Structure 1
Amino acid sequence: MPKEQFGFESDKDKESGGHFFTTFQIVLICIVGACVIIAVGCMCALLPDRSCEPRIKPEPTVTEPRLTTLSPTPTEELWSGRLTHDLIPESYELYLKPYLYDIDLGVGDRIYTFDGRVKIHFRCETATTMVTLHMLNITIHESTLSDSDGNEVDIESNSFTPEYDFVHFHVAEELVTGTDYVLEIEYLGELWAGLSGFYRSSYEEDGETKWLAASQMQPTSARRALPCFDEPDFKAVFQTQIEHRNDMVALSNGIETNVNKSETDGWLITEYKATPIMSTYLLAFIVGYFNYTEIYTDSGIRFRVWSRPEAVNTTVYARDIGSNITTYYEKYFNISFPLEKQDMIAVPGLSFWAMENWGLITFQETALLYDSRVNSASNKQYVASSLSHELTHQWFGNLVTCLWWDDLWLNEGFASYVEGLGVENAEPYWGMNEQFVNVDLQPVFDLDALGTSHPVLVPVNSPDEINEIFDSISYSKGASILRMLNDILGEDVFVSGLNAYLITHRKDNAKTDDLWAALTEADKGMGDNNVKQIMDTWTLQMGFPVVDFRRIDDTHFNASQEHFLINPDAGVDDRYGDLGYLWYIFLTYTQKTDVNFEMPNTMWIEKEPWALVTLSSPMEADDWFLANIQHYGYYRVNYDNENWARLIQQLVDNHSVFPTENRAQLISDALTLARVGRVDYPIALDLTLYMESEEDYVPWEALLGVISYITDMFSRHYGYGSLERYMQKKVQTLYNDLTWIDDPVNDPHLTQFNRVNAIGTSCKYRNQDCLDQASALFQEYMTNDANNIDNSPDYEINPISPNLKTTVYCYGIQEGGQEEWEFGWRKYKETLDAAEKSNWILALSYSQAPWILSRYLDYSLDVNSVRSQDSNTVIVYVSQNYIGRSIAWNYLRSNWETYKEYYGGSANLLSDIISDVTEDFNTELELEELIAFGEGNNLGSATRAYEQAIEVTNTNIAWMSTSADTVADWFTDNAPAIGE
């Protein structure tokens, strides 16, 4: 720090004519300052805690309570931000009373609060004179402590450690080891608008604002709802009461046992059955205007799906498939669901797409509600996958919980893998097993190929660090390596090991090694694999390998492995350990001469740089070799040029020889490897030549995923025109075959998905017929709406198939002007269907008018214009519009503090915004601006995302320098001439 910052003279000061201090003046100022500090300290000790630590104001109608004095505790006395295990909670008795309509200070600003009272029953494991809990934005009215015999223990004072959200109760006598105690706290909390803790949200109904209270505790926000031991290994039983207005519904984790009249007129008190022993992050409370549909599962569980009353008819699909999947999981895990009821509720205003609270799962409305008259097949699959994921957690996460957040992947990776099994069982014709490569495996490769990625099992401490790992590494990579492990062990061994793991650790916490131990035991006498030894290489180091096959002779290949990095020159983050960036790789392979995809050849590369692969038959003249059958392995594959050429020829001759997963893999691997120079771009792009004959969704989805990178990089490059003509040609056959005639009832699920891709891709690459069709349907919709004098439901006047709405809305607005945009904006505001709102949120970003995009960004930060849960997607979508890229980036930089305030309590929204808004940066100027942005701002939980954004930008710049012209030349040679 420069010395002039301390008030010393500098040459710069003299030249600028600043004010200078003598030594005597400096000493005098220091003495006066010390006196002021002492005086302020005395005042803080004598005044209520709100004077020293800003808190919310209490309800004015209540007599001013006696507040417990809080004074700062020096942070250096605490060894870390983790609680000690001196005290272990056993149960909580919790009472809450939220005020959603009843507090008005009469000064224009309403204060939304809740009254709380909690009795914490805990056991003393180690003698101590201090009870430490987590607490955030809560004002304590009164607290008492007593032992199990009812003898009161005097609380002498309270203190707090804000950086850890700790509140400390200092007691007059030492708590006795082995003794049970009860701490009772009366308090006041804030129902804030931050989408975490116990918070408020709202929606519009018939022009009236309807308020609700909801909760989102994961990962570290239960402390906003009650003082508690807010770490996952401090499991306890929770018995809850909620006092609420009698015209509202109140829900919690347990089934309701009593509903009694309150002493307050017009209010009720609902009591709930005690929960099983569980972590604080699974607590859930909902108060508001909701209705439900109901069914009972085969084992007698009461299964309800709740929504706003106007949307209750759209809960039926979730109710039916949810009860079906619950029954399936009881059989799959061989453990009965441990509660008497399962509530699922669509919450208007939720930061996560869903949350697995035990017995009361919360969802964003798009993730739970489905109306076949309005919503698409992808909406339906999203609902099925979302609820299947959360139901998995009822066993894997809730029954057995990760010991600490560094094992978050145990919860999320497993749920992300098994969710597909649940949907596959309920909807067997959707091809969920095939779709896995598009949904999870190939997308997470992009993040995990960065040197700023992180291991699956990563050490975390602070809330910011915890929030950072709610990313696709924990979810999708976790799911991918479990899918790979299932392939290694076999389904029977895998399920047997899971069952043993759940039974051994039920109602307890577990670590990754506990799962490996259970699976190793299950594999004894079968494969006899050392699961920990294998899987440590996939969980304790970031990234994944590329396996390079080079032919030695007619019967042998050399297989070498290397850590794959999309930008090798950037290096690897050294914050984490590694195992030499070598992996235990279970290799599966076959060849044309002796092809077998059901029972392929297998071998291990045992954490060595290379291994010798022996073929079952000698290679013939046109024989090809293919590895990683059905893309089960979490690695990419490269071949010598001759083998690539033979694979390309096979695709052209008869692509159906290869499973759909492998066709997707070949395209994804080759084009990604070409980005780093491991495959020549002409060879990689030749793999797409056959696509005019491809009719299956999974390979097409893979192609669109990897070709989008080139498209985005070419948005300001001369090669874009040739790319556009090439893609028009490749998709034309699919576009012609599938047509605009959509039949959601009779068309197979993946055919519907493929039609959406065919039409969307044709419009994206400016097939004029496609753009004309989209514009015509949009104009017809506008005309029907203008002529709707009978106020018929929107689905009756909307001529657009639910599957094609997103495409038509987007390109109708893109090809239109202000009138079309204003129509879309009005429809967004009017519709009550959450999925329809999401369609419009995306479509409105397609405007080609910069001023409209700028205004749209302003709307996104106005809660009266755009729902808070949608606002982050607005800036992301605008940034993906080539015209809006710089507009969104400038807006983010100018409004960063506003975004931080808006999303400060949400786990990963800020990270997503930074990652997505900057992902197409590919110039030195953009890199300079990005670096300057990080140097000038506190990025908090978005720090990792920012570091990755810099790496991605550097990678993009390098690609533009080394590959763009080569790729442009290939498209020029292979695209049809203009006018053909």
Structure 2
Amino acid sequence: MTKQEFNIESAEKEDKESGGIFLTTFQLVFIGVTAACVITAVGCMCALLPDRSCDEVRVTEPPEEPMTTTPRMTPERTEPPVTEPRRTTEGDMTTIAPTEEPWNGRLSYDLIPDSYDLYLRPYLYPEDGGEDKRFTFDGRVTIHFRCDVATNVITLHLLDIELDIYTLSDTDGNDISISGHTLEAKYEFVHFNLDSYLEAGKDYVLYIEYLGQLRAGLSGFYRSSYQQGNETRWLATTQMQATSARQALPCFDEPDFKAVFRTEIEHRDDMVALSNGMETRTNESEIEGWTISRYLPTPKMSTYLLAFVVGYFDKLETWTDNDILLRVWSRPEAVNNTQYSLEIGSNLTTYFEEYFNISFPLEKQDMIAVPDFSAGAMENWGLIIYRETNLLYDSAVNSASNKQRVAEVVSHELAHMWFGNLVTCEWWDDLWLNEGFATYMEGTIGVNHAEPSWLMREQFVTIDLQSVFEPDALGTSHPVQVPVNHPDEINEIFDSISYSKGASINRMLNNILGEDVYTSGVNNYLQTHREDNAKTDDLWNALTEADKNIGDNDVKKIMDTWTLQMGYPVVNVRRLNETHFNASQEHFLINPEAGVDDRYTDLGYQWYVYLTYTQETDPNFEEPDNIWMEPYMTTTLVPVSNNMSDDDWFLVNIKQYGYYRVNYDNDNWARLSQQLTNDHKVLPTENRAQLINDAFTLARVGRVDYPIALNLTLYMEQEEGYVPWEATLGGISYIRDMFSRYYGYGPLERYMREKVQALYESLGWIDDPDNDPHLDQFNRENAIATSCRYRNQDCLDQASTLFSQYMTNDANNVDNEPDYMINPISPNLKSVVYSYGIQEGGQVEWEFGWRKYQETTDSSEKVKWLVALSYSQAPWILSRYLDYSLDTDLVRSQDSSTVIVSVSRNYIGRSIAWDYLRSNWDTYVDYYRTSPSGLGYIVTEVTEDFNTQLELEEVVAFKEGKDLGPATRAYDQAIEVINTNIAWMKSSATIVAEWFEDAAPPIGE
């Protein structure tokens, strides 16, 4: 506690011990005056405030049926509670008075917007409006709003906007005088001070003219550019989520202030101008060579979904089966690379209309790729904006993984049109409702429908479930429902917990309720709250209602244990006799000694766990036995078939639908390991991956002996499945990273080189993207990358040869043939060959790669080169490369994080990247402060492999005197990870090194 807190506590203790309470004269007077004021205020309110009928009372819970009138519903606030400014009341008029009490910057519900009429004119070139207006925009906005509580102050959000003219009137046209405005920078507020009072229940119109900035940052209404030949082409685009609409217009910039937007944009007539609504007409501008585009009004939506793009673009288009116009836009030279996203976008738009049983509510859906974008994509209603890598695909240049990435992101964003846009979270503490559901839909439902041969339901286990287990095992994790207020806190939760954990518990719930019940509940939820806001409990209520005639699940009671507390359980299963097992649960932590942040919940870190299980004799993986484990209860598992042998293995969490880990007694682990050796295909792909992932993680914290976990990999020469290989490589990667400067790396390298040899030889270097199964292409890349990483000389020679051939072909390309025609490397193998060609080469190879990065216009190809260039073994080259990454003429600001993170993953570059981050911290903050998760991602990744006390001390010292902003949570997690790494080196490094020494082939074989 602070000194002040200690003094207060001591004084209270003395009062209690002496048996009385002592007050000063001043305190007595203050209490008396305060009491008189309260009595007077209450009396005035009772006498003078207008009565409200029952229909007008604002409630804290949504009604059971959709409302057809509007009193506005006031959401329950998250902790800490909002402390509003003090108000003095005269009749039915309220005046805001200064207050010294803390306030979290949330808007009050005095004023409720109905619609915005927005006009914009961006200036991108000097000739547009003169050099002094370049990279600015003129704006006009007319806000129609209702007054719910009488006030003489209008408060809006505003940032980096210069106000010019503003007027206020009622809907009868009567002017209301505004005496002036004041800015409150702390909360990004503008207060318009009125000379009279707005009346409760009346509608008003606020008109504002303003000047905004088209900044080079990646938020609000910002500028970007690309090269077309020798010409720089400028464009203006948007990223409003989470709190950046206020940079484009003064507005009520919170998600539950939904309104209709009617937009018009004045722009050069040779440019394309897009917004959320369909363009209805264009009018000639008073400026020669300019035009004014107008757009249909949007449905009621949140400000963070507002979008507009102005620039030189081309498109492909189609009509969906349900007559929605779908257009995919890009730089003109890349427009042919939009064909795949157009096809899958059309497919999924129709499919989601059927899945949700709700028609897409707009006339068109635009999807556009822009060169600079902080996120992967943004789900703006009717105008989804993408980073180029996530929308453009060229089969001649890009890999199967690039194609899958495009499919996943398009699916994710289109799912948002319903879950997020049609129904929106009331406040950002329920962000997971938007992102968790869209992440679940993207692969398991959407891409699985469009591309069934990709086996996305199997891939989910490694893409989302197992990947989020690691951060969610930290004591510094957070619940999926987490209280947030400050914009930095909001940006912090755009992380894997909101996305991948949210998706994982949706998948788990679908498995518990069944597809029909789950889908019915989701449809009811969307229908009930369409064009409105909702909370997590609204979804639980809808799912409980859907289940009531089929099961007896209280979805809220079950799911509160998964959403209101962080982390997850490990279920300990122990054999009682030949047919009975006991199961108990406890909170799994990667670093139990560090403790947990228990401020979020009083549920005690216990969960309602839906256990599914089967056994060796007559196993049933499609309809396994199941039982509920309740909090604080030990559960007995008995196979229903009663035909279990006393030497059978026992398996829990079938296909890893449950969001929990499983630990067995040593005998059962040994039997499962033997099953993998004898016939691994008896177990489903997901469970083979689960066993390896669970065992390696449990061994990491000492719950399983490391030899038990490592023995599970002995069968891997026989494994051909992509998902189990992904799980194995993930489990080994932690040991590899800890061993990068430790003697155990040598035997680990020999062991892994041997284990992957069969897969390497089986799949080989001959890649046939047109005929090879999708996951075979993924597995080939894994096999070659793993072989090269662990220094299979044939692999390194092949990579070097292909890289050299590419350099030779390029040098001899006197006819300037397109690069894909002279590049001998298959698109699926480019990442591997580029990386190891750079690693095994020197400065000449690096300079070739750097030139190719600069020359290519394909965004996915650029990313491959950015990562590959970090493989250099020369410290001076890596240092120079980091300097290049912060020169926006060389590397786009959105990609600088890729460079520093990739350099840090090179064991030679680890300390170089860390020193560079510390030295250039302010620059990275400027790049990524408003980017959801960007800054935190850098901090987490650059420090992830630190495992010495000196590195820990450096990271701890780094925080002193710094505002970490949205990286605060990531920094705390980094400290915890480093502590666990140090502990692991002390407890496990020697044991693991000795196991690999025994299991690896001798040196030279």
Using the size of structure 2 for normalisation, the TM-score is 0.90
Give the AA of the match of 1:803. N
Alpha-carbon shift at residue 111 of structure 1 (Å): 4.8
Structure 1 outlier segments of 4+, above 6 Å: 103-107
Please say if residues 104 and 486 of structure 2, whose CA atoms lie closer than 8 Å, have aligned partners that are also in contact: no
Give a deviation string over 1:631-673, Cα, whole Å, max 9, x none: 0000000000000000000000000000000000000000000
1:436 aligns with 2:457: no
Alpha-carbon distance change, 192 to 74 in structure 1, aligned in 2, over 3 angstroms: farther
Give a deviation string over 1:239-287, Cα, whole Å, max 9, x none: 0000111121100000000111111111111000000000000000100
Please say if residues 554 and 618 of structure 1, whose CA atoms lie closer than 8 Å, have aligned partners that are also in contact: no
Q: Please name the residue that 1:448 is paired with.
A: 472
Higher mean displacement: 474-483 or 203-212: 203-212
Q: Please name the residue that 1:787 is paired with.
A: 812
Please say if residues 123 and 135 of structure 2, whose CA atoms lie closer than 8 Å, have aligned partners that are also in contact: yes
Q: Please name the residue that 1:579 is paired with.
A: 603
Please say if residues 584 and 633 of structure 2, whose CA atoms lie closer than 8 Å, have aligned partners that are also in contact: yes
Distance in structure 2 (CA, Å) of the matches to 1:630 and 1:100: 54
Higher mean displacement: 200-209 or 788-797: 200-209
Alpha-carbon distance change, 74 to 98 in structure 1, aligned in 2, over 3 angstroms: farther
Q: Please name the residue that 2:342 is paired with.
A: 319
Alpha-carbon shift at residue 869 of structure 1 (Å): 1.2
Q: Please name the residue that 1:481 is paired with.
A: 505
Alpha-carbon shift at residue 594 of structure 1 (Å): 2.9
Give the AA of the match of 1:324. N
Question: In the alignment, which of 955, 966, 972 is matched to residue 997 of structure 2?
Answer: 972
Give a deviation string over 1:344-380, Cα, whole Å, max 9, x none: 0001000000000000000000000000000000000
Question: In the alignment, which of 224, 231, 256 is matched to residue 201 of structure 1?
Answer: 224
Alpha-carbon shift at residue 73 of structure 1 (Å): 9.6
Q: Please name the residue that 1:27 is paired with.
A: none
Alpha-carbon shift at residue 729 of structure 1 (Å): 0.4
Question: In the alignment, which of 130, 135, 141 is matched to residue 158 of structure 2?
Answer: 135
Distance in structure 1 (CA, Å) of the matches to 2:869 and 2:98: 51
Question: In the alignment, which of 950, 956, 968 is matched to residue 975 of structure 2?
Answer: 950
Q: Please name the residue that 1:181 is paired with.
A: 204
3-state DSSP of counterpart to 2:679: helix
Distance in structure 2 (CA, Å) of the matches to 1:614 and 1:371: 53
- Structure 2, unmatched stretches of 5+, are 4-95
3-state DSSP of counterpart to 2:998: helix
Q: Please name the residue that 1:828 is paired with.
A: 853
Distance in structure 2 (CA, Å) of the matches to 1:77 and 1:437: 48
Distance in structure 1 (CA, Å) of the matches to 2:106 and 2:258: 15
3-state DSSP of counterpart to 2:217: coil
3-state DSSP of counterpart to 2:985: helix
Distance in structure 2 (CA, Å) of the matches to 1:74 and 1:445: 47
Please say if residues 475 and 594 of structure 2, whose CA atoms lie closer than 8 Å, have aligned partners that are also in contact: yes
3-state DSSP of counterpart to 1:322: helix
Matches within 5 A, 1:154-165: 154-165=177-188
Matches within 5 A, 1:181-580: 181-420=204-443, 421-580=445-604
Higher mean displacement: 354-363 or 592-601: 592-601
Q: Please name the residue that 1:671 is paired with.
A: 696
Give the AA of the match of 2:417. Q
Give a deviation string over 1:577-597, Cα, whole Å, max 9, x none: 241100000000000013110
Alpha-carbon shift at residue 558 of structure 1 (Å): 1.1
1:724 aligns with 2:749: yes
Alpha-carbon shift at residue 207 of structure 1 (Å): 2.2
Please say if residues 584 and 606 of structure 1, whose CA atoms lie closer than 8 Å, have aligned partners that are also in contact: yes
Please say if residues 567 and 676 of structure 1, whose CA atoms lie closer than 8 Å, have aligned partners that are also in contact: yes
Q: Please name the residue that 2:899 is paired with.
A: 874
1:925 aligns with 2:957: no
1:688 aligns with 2:713: yes
Distance in structure 2 (CA, Å) of the matches to 1:124 and 1:106: 41
Give the AA of the match of 2:663. N
Question: In the alignment, which of 97, 104, 120 is matched to residue 96 of structure 1?
Answer: 120
Distance in structure 2 (CA, Å) of the matches to 1:452 and 1:295: 47
Distance in structure 2 (CA, Å) of the matches to 1:722 and 1:918: 25
Matches within 5 A, 1:794-809: 794-809=819-834
3-state DSSP of counterpart to 2:739: helix
Q: Please name the residue that 1:959 is paired with.
A: 984
Higher mean displacement: 701-710 or 444-453: 701-710
Please say if residues 537 and 582 of structure 1, whose CA atoms lie closer than 8 Å, have aligned partners that are also in contact: yes
Alpha-carbon shift at residue 106 of structure 1 (Å): 9.3
Distance in structure 2 (CA, Å) of the matches to 1:457 and 1:106: 49
Distance in structure 1 (CA, Å) of the matches to 2:774 and 2:230: 38
1:862 aligns with 2:887: yes
> What percent of counterpart residues are identical?
72
Please say if residues 542 and 578 of structure 1, whose CA atoms lie closer than 8 Å, have aligned partners that are also in contact: no
3-state DSSP of counterpart to 2:100: helix
Give a deviation string over 1:142-177, Cα, whole Å, max 9, x none: 100000001000001211211111100111111011
Distance in structure 1 (CA, Å) of the matches to 2:582 and 2:315: 61
1:642 aligns with 2:661: no
Alpha-carbon shift at residue 610 of structure 1 (Å): 2.0
Alpha-carbon distance change, 859 to 124 in structure 1, aligned in 2, over 3 angstroms: same
Give a deviation string over 1:598-649, Cα, whole Å, max 9, x none: 1100000011242111233364253100000000000000000000000000
Give a deviation string over 1:522-575, Cα, whole Å, max 9, x none: 001211200000000000000000000011111211101000000000000133
3-state DSSP of counterpart to 2:565: coil
The root-mean-square deviation of aligned C-alpha atoms, in Å, is 1.6
**Residues paired across the two proteins, number:** 911
Please say if residues 389 and 419 of structure 1, whose CA atoms lie closer than 8 Å, have aligned partners that are also in contact: yes
Give the AA of the match of 2:306. L
Alpha-carbon shift at residue 902 of structure 1 (Å): 2.1
3-state DSSP of counterpart to 1:715: coil
Higher mean displacement: 572-581 or 798-807: 572-581
Question: In the alignment, which of 606, 611, 616 is matched to residue 630 of structure 2?
Answer: 606
Distance in structure 1 (CA, Å) of the matches to 2:746 and 2:129: 62
Higher mean displacement: 97-106 or 720-729: 97-106
Please say if residues 578 and 647 of structure 2, whose CA atoms lie closer than 8 Å, have aligned partners that are also in contact: no
Alpha-carbon shift at residue 75 of structure 1 (Å): 6.7
Distance in structure 2 (CA, Å) of the matches to 1:110 and 1:715: 54
Distance in structure 2 (CA, Å) of the matches to 1:931 and 1:362: 38
1:770 aligns with 2:795: yes
Alpha-carbon distance change, 344 to 105 in structure 1, aligned in 2, over 3 angstroms: closer
Q: Please name the residue that 1:625 is paired with.
A: 650
Please say if residues 74 and 161 of structure 1, whose CA atoms lie closer than 8 Å, have aligned partners that are also in contact: no
Q: Please name the residue that 1:887 is paired with.
A: 912
3-state DSSP of counterpart to 1:716: coil
Give the AA of the match of 1:835. S
Distance in structure 2 (CA, Å) of the matches to 1:174 and 1:942: 43
Please say if residues 214 and 221 of structure 2, whose CA atoms lie closer than 8 Å, have aligned partners that are also in contact: yes
Distance in structure 2 (CA, Å) of the matches to 1:97 and 1:320: 33
Distance in structure 2 (CA, Å) of the matches to 1:186 and 1:525: 57
